[in-house]
Chains A and B, each alone.
Chain A
């Protein structure tokens, strides 16, 4: 008897249609890439009971359990339930797996739980955004990285969030050892110089990476109490015009970022190509069509930017054109 499977429904349920007839792969989203180790055992159990015993670690920090049978989807969904609950994924009907797959797992570098360079808890912010945007069928890619090193490659995402800190300098604690200046020169953008034995920061150049703070041996440089972010927009891979995301907001805050992402869902609903295959169109191509000014109008609706936030009024992308 031939298999009778609604592939659209299966895909929306976060199952891939395999090249092997009858087979599928179950995708597990792990917002922020951070999980309790116990979940690994649950993934193993599913892989060994229903799959071929192999798990792929996805580029978006999820799991993909390979070699499962399409007819086992319901049984696997039951087994996914504790994982979905432990990772606190928004869900409509318990026991039915993931309610959507269009908005991809929100990924993050390891962040300030571990990394000395990170300027914030990336996983925490990633989970917050996941809670705000999921489930949604629209194709959104969002990623978080702790500092401008961008280990998470957030500039290849629709939304890239890069951690920043506004360096606070107390000249009375500075011994002019120049560790910050040397650090900024060799590891960052050379925004510091010594004048009259005190450090002067070029605020135009400074990217808020925080290297000066980590290098300072006397706590003359410290982090700002407020956490800041750079928001980059509409980076992408793909066949037509892969490109890096460009800066939109510099020295912005959490609330503004969450609002802008949610506003973008409204924008996409309004302007997405109704004939887009599988209802999937990269947001960047939609903005290419509407123009950035129209997008910005939607994105900033109801957003109260901080006084110190720098906004790029016009954003231009380059990248490689194959189309």
Chain B
């Protein structure tokens, strides 16, 4: 009897919860999912927004750009985020249309682990392409020595750390490599996952933090990851040679310079695979938020427009501090105008 009555009580409890007051919804709730790269920044933005606008709570979960796009197409979320924007085919699957808005940008850096922690290793274009193609296999390679005369480069093997999971970061980095090297384009190519050279010296780790942990632990390792992660993990980052031949360090003016050089078309989708400017950092990207042009709930649409407004004003001030690139002024203005189409 005791077991029966406990079960009854539990069942009653659960039913009461499920049938509970559906009213009392003075709190409007927005849910989003998608790219993991801007997750730290977005979580800060949304929390600040909810603090300022009582009555609206915004949640965001990072699970990958592709998963976010899928949720967006299935209408299980109110908005999504993607490092790779959306393809035309994906946009066509959303009745009512999609408004893509670039919200912030980021740089992808090459972190490395060498004895003595030399700062600012300079990597010429052909050298870093060669490393990722598996052609340059030792740190003592003459090309590396030529570019870094003052640095004591040991004779160890180079261990390349790449992403294990499909990711927008890989997409951006490999797009850049495809733009600067024919051999790369014909070989692994660009994509969220690519066919990396088959070698034991190429190891994979999941997510940005996995890559940073592996680099930190493996002497002689080098890998690509997002700037914010490398900065906070205190990894040494290489200076990359850009199109103009200059060596640019990440984290400074290089990012905004790279993004500013691109003209955004009407649908606000643009890629910066090989920026021109002398001060531009070679590997940078925008990251987009995806919104429905036709929302089912006008109150939600209004809240979303306020959210975009907030991100464009207060949000951009937080970007640089957290390791992301604030939107150039002209881009921010274009985004503001486009946001009006979210109904």
The answer to whether A and B belong to the same complex is: no
Residues of A within 8 A of B (CB): none
Residues of B within 8 A of A (CB): none
